[in-house]
Amino acid sequence: NAGVTQTPKFQVLKTGQSMTLQCAQDMNHEYMSWYRQDPGMGLRLIHYSVGAGITDQGEVPNGYNVSRSTTEDFPLRLLSAAPSQTSVYFCASRPLGTSQITYNEQFFGPGTRLTVL
Amino acid sequence: EDKVVQSPLSLVVHEGDTVTLNCSYEVTNFRSLLWYKQEKKAPTFLFMLTSSGIEKKSGRLSSILDKKELFSILNITATQTGDSAIYLCAVGGTGNQFYFGTGTSLTVIP
């Protein structure tokens, strides 16, 4: 199993450009999520999905779009990049668990370091 | 508002010392608390705690949860330079979301 993979590892954008960060997992996990990590801020949830066709917003969704057409893939789109979106982005996945109890650890991808000039 | 607070923010110790990292939380409908270690790359899983008073151990690391007082501690005994990392605490609550603290940066000096 490759686990959770992310591409690209590094990216530099100019303000206003758009791009898609790719995330894929081969563990058949229902739950996938995107986080950004900034110094002193910890990991903040951008968007998440509990299955194909289902997405929802996290703490900091503005400026980002997601879709989930398959169980394996969960791309994150920046529509019009801004310097405030300079960050390290992590994708994570885990089994969903039951509707009442969430026990499961999350598996993280290696991250994408994005710089917006 | 759901939040997770870790302390201290950073810590510098000498090899062989014992350290205690703290995580307090206010999260609606608590499900689980997770500890991660992050070394210049993706976080790696250490422990998951769901019940109070049951200590989880893995080698020199151990962790315990207090659901009444809403906190957890992560202990590392006989620290080594390889323990240098950021330690993250995450709490799972309503809606399948996990809330992360800002992390504790641990530096172990030889």
Residues B9 and A23: their CA atoms lie apart, in Å, by 30
Residues B64 and A45: their CA atoms lie apart, in Å, by 25
pLDDT for B86 equals 95
pLDDT for A98 equals 59
- Exposure b/e, A31-61, CB count within 10 A at least 16 = b: bbbbbbbeeeebbbbbbbbbebeebeebebb
pLDDT for B57 equals 87
In tens digits, chain B (110 residues) has pLDDT values of 888 999 999 999 999 999 999 999 998 888 889 999 999 888 998 988 988 888 888 899 999 999 899 999 999 999 999 999 999 999 987 766 788 999 999 999 99
Residues B80 and B94: their CA atoms lie apart, in Å, by 37
Interface test with B, best of A30, A35, A41, A43 (most B CBs within 10 A): A43
pLDDT for B2 equals 85
Whether the per-residue pLDDT at A104 is higher than 70: the answer is: no
- Please indicate whether, in this complex, the C-beta atoms of A44 and B42 are within 8 angstroms of each other: no
Whether the per-residue pLDDT at A99 is higher than 60: the answer is: no
Whether the per-residue pLDDT at A102 is higher than 60: the answer is: no
Three-class SS of residue B81?
A: helix
Residues B85 and B37: their CA atoms lie apart, in Å, by 6
- Please indicate whether, in this complex, the C-beta atoms of A96 and B96 are within 8 angstroms of each other: yes
Three-class SS of residue A84?
A: helix
Summarize pLDDT for B51-69 with one digit per residue, the tens: 888 888 889 999 999 989 9
| Tokens representing residue B105 in the block | 């940066």
Residues 6+ apart with CB under 8 A from B102: A40, A41, A42, B5, B6, B9
- Please indicate whether, in this complex, the C-beta atoms of A106 and B34 are within 8 angstroms of each other: yes
The fraction of chain B above a pLDDT of 90, given in percent, is 70
Summarize pLDDT for A8-31 with one digit per residue, the tens: 999 999 999 999 999 999 999 999
Closest Cβ opposite residue A110 in set B4, B42, B50: B42
pLDDT for A63 equals 95
Q: Which residue has the higher pLDDT, A7 or B29?
A: A7
Average pLDDT, chain A: 91
| Tokens representing residue B15 in the block | 């090899």
User: Does B31 reach chain A within 8 Å, measured CB to CB?
Assistant: yes
